[in-house]
Amino acid sequence: MKLFTNFSAVIAALLWTSTVLAQDSAGVRLLGKISGFRGHVRAVSVQGAFTYVVAGEPGVRIVVVSDPSDPWEAAWYDSPGYAYGIELSGDYAYVADDELGLRIVDISVHNRPLEVGSVNTPGDAVAIALTDNYAFVADGLSGVRIVDISNPSRPREVGSFNTPGWTRDIAVAGNYAYVADGESGLRILDVSNQGQPREVASLNIPGEAQCIEIYGTFAFVGSDATGLRVVDVSNPERPRAITSLDSFDSVFDIEITGNHGYLATSDGLRVLDVSIPSRLREVGFYDNIENDAVGIAVGNHGVVYIAASSFLGIYDCSVALSTGSGDFNPHPSSFILSPAFPNPFNGMTRMNYSLSRSGLTRLAIYDPAGRLVEELSSPVWRQAGEHSVTWNANGKASGSYVMRLEAGGQVVQQPVVLVK
């Protein structure tokens, strides 16, 4: 009888897992899409009933989305090079052309966009952040270029900073610019003097930092192959990673509106409750996207626009936004890991993690050379939910170590430093 019960439990677990894995969406539904764009769709931005789709060599396509189920192309702007990124402000679209820098387009008449100004930059312009009078251009190998746009028809470069990596995205808050700098991670610049920006801090991000968004005193950094990192930047000169979401291969774009974060990833669209940045909670997802979701824009009433390959998809996330605590089963790949605390530590430290489903879990400590130092837990069955593990390092030498957690076929690591 006991054998039969255990066998039944195993079958039930397998059936539950198969059901979850087969599910391609939760809290999100497709409203409509438009495809057939020439080039490769890279980014999207929305303003009222119009969506601006960045599509490489064909430039920017202007799509009417007043009826999300029936979007249609109304006009286009042919960028002279390869359009890669876009930001909107008032009557102007600011386009990152990775061959010819910053292009400024008057969109006051939506079906007749007109370029009114430009600044050629030396690198590969791929993204833009705007303040009242300045455009901060993520310019690839040439770092950050700062352009005075107080007169959009006569923009002029006033400052620059050559970061050590390949600048992919930028966000500006107050007197600081936060740069997703590829393999060199997060770079933070003091831009209070736009003519002489200076770096005040940096932080390693596993993988390559691809995109960044600021939410209050936190920076959300998406990376290639290692998911999402949340960094406390309440003191910009001392950034501190506080949590991560290692549940997909790559995060290509991030938008945060209200208390929700929307991620364009190689796994599709993900929706997070970010009201407590140290405790991210997934509330919705949509996997059934034909290609990598590489660009994202958030409209009104929970409508989200996704740029992917040759099409624009429009999704209703209103159900996800109304999801209460405990009402949602996360994506089967979700694996949320919080850094050890305290860290550095003297004697003992604790790490919290969250599993989306039950399974075998192993936690071990390694030295920087990859040698096993201590196995905190051999493979043991853990239930879905939140867990906490403490490492008592008494007897261990001072220095750097790596906490390695394995669960559900995934592996994540966090550095820890023992100080005596």
In whole angstroms, give the CA distance from residue 169 to residue 32. Answer: 28
In whole angstroms, give the CA distance from residue 26 to residue 255. Answer: 19
Q: For tokens 């919290």, what's the residue?
A: 352
pLDDT at 313 (0 to 100): 95
pLDDT at 234 (0 to 100): 95
In whole angstroms, give the CA distance from residue 247 to residue 227. Answer: 6
Backbone angles phi and psi of 37, in degrees to 5:
-65, 135
Is 250:258 a contact under the CB 8 Å cutoff?
no
* 131: CB partners within 8 A, 6+ apart: 172
CB atoms within 10 A of CB 150: 10
Which residues of the chain are under the pLDDT cut of 70? 1-23, 247-248, 324-337, 356-357, 408-410
Handedness of CA 142, 144, 147, 149 (dihedral sign): positive
pLDDT at 37 (0 to 100): 81
pLDDT at 16 (0 to 100): 35
pLDDT at 21 (0 to 100): 37
What 121-125 contacts at long range (C-beta under 8 Å, 24+ apart), as own/partner pairs, is 121/145, 121/157, 123/167, 124/84, 124/98, 124/99, 125/84, 125/85, 125/96, 125/97, 125/98, 125/100, 125/101
pLDDT at 6 (0 to 100): 43
Q: Which domains does the chain have, with CATH numbers?
A: 24-321 (2.130.10.10), 338-418 (2.60.40.1930)
HSE at residue 267, side-chain half, CA atoms within 13 A, is 25
Q: What is the pLDDT of residues 171-186, one digit of tens each?
A: 999 999 999 999 999 9
Parallel, antiparallel, or unpaired: how do β-strands 50-54 and 60-64 relate?
Answer: antiparallel
